[in-house]
Amino acid sequence: MSDAYAALVEQARFEYGNNPYSGTIATTSGVVQDPKVKAPMTTAQVREHMKDWWDRDPQPSKWDAAWAIPLAPQTEPDPDDWPRQGRDQPGWLFYGWAAC
């Protein structure tokens, strides 16, 4: 999780600079796993979990750490092709509020 987050922050800084209001993942102060997620999720489970996340408590806050959800490998194509078909490796979904 930390390595994937660091790579995304580095890429965001490369593309958008080190502006604290870039609106990218680089404006977050680190990463933590979503406290309500205990095991890797499929994309269908993530969709259900993320419904109306901005109305939930707790949730990530501006300037705080981004939250991460571990993604389970998914060999079957997703009907909505999200995040991409045939993701056969585990991964991470990062979310939160970005300063802009």
Nearest 5°: the CA angle 95, 78, 40 is 50
Please give the pLDDT value at position 13.
94
CA atoms within 13 A on the CB side of 43: 18
CA 77 to CA 79: how far, in whole Å? 6
Please give the pLDDT value at position 68.
94
In-domain check, residue 7: yes
Q: Which structural domain range is residue 48 located in?
A: 2-73
Specify whether the CB–CB gap between 26 and 7 falls below 8 A: no
In-domain check, residue 47: yes
In-domain check, residue 96: no
Residue 77 makes CB contacts below 8 A (sequence gap 6+) with: 85, 86
In-domain check, residue 42: yes
Please give the pLDDT value at position 58.
75
Q: 58: cis peptide before it, omega within 30°?
A: yes
Please give the pLDDT value at position 67.
92
Please give the pLDDT value at position 1.
94
E strands present in the chain: 31-33, 66-71, 91-95
In-domain check, residue 9: yes
In-domain check, residue 23: yes
Please give the pLDDT value at position 80.
61
In-domain check, residue 78: no
Q: Which residue has the higher pLDDT, 76 or 22?
A: 22
Q: Which residue has the higher pLDDT, 87 or 4?
A: 4
Q: What is the pLDDT of residues 28-87, one digit of tens each?
A: 999 999 999 999 998 888 888 888 777 777 777 777 899 999 999 877 666 665 555 556
Number of domains in the chain: 1
Specify whether the CB–CB gap between 36 and 68 falls below 8 A: no
